[in-house]
Amino acid sequence: MRQKIAFALIMGIITTGIISFTLISINIGFVANFLVIWLKSWSMAYLVVIPAILIVGPQVQKLVATMFKDAVTEEVD
C-alpha cells in the first residue's frame, strides 16, 4: 500500500506540474505573475488528482489487465 501511495504522490507531482504549466502558458501566456498563478493552480490540481489516482487507479489497472488478458493468451497459442 505504501508503494501505491508513493506512486500516486510522485506521479501526481509530475503530471499536474506539466499539465498546469502547459495550460496556463497557453491560456494566459508568461505574464508578470505567472509563477504565482501556476503554483496556485498546480497545488489545487495536486489536491484533486491524488485521491483520483488512489481511487480510480486500481479500477483502471483491472480494466487494462482484462483488456490484455486475451492478448497474452493469443500470443501463447
DSSP helix, strand, coil percent of the chain (3-state; round to 5): 90, 0, 10
d(CA 16, CA 42): 6
Share of the chain above pLDDT 90, in %: 53
- The pLDDT assigned to 76 comes to 56
Q: Which residue has the higher pLDDT, 77 or 60?
A: 60
For residue range 1-12, list pLDDT tens digits in order: 788 888 888 989
User: What's the mean pLDDT when you consider all of the chain?
Assistant: 88
What nine digits make up the cell of 56?
Answer: 480510480
Phi–psi pair at 33, nearest 5 degrees: -105, 30
On whether the pTM is more than 0.75, the answer is no
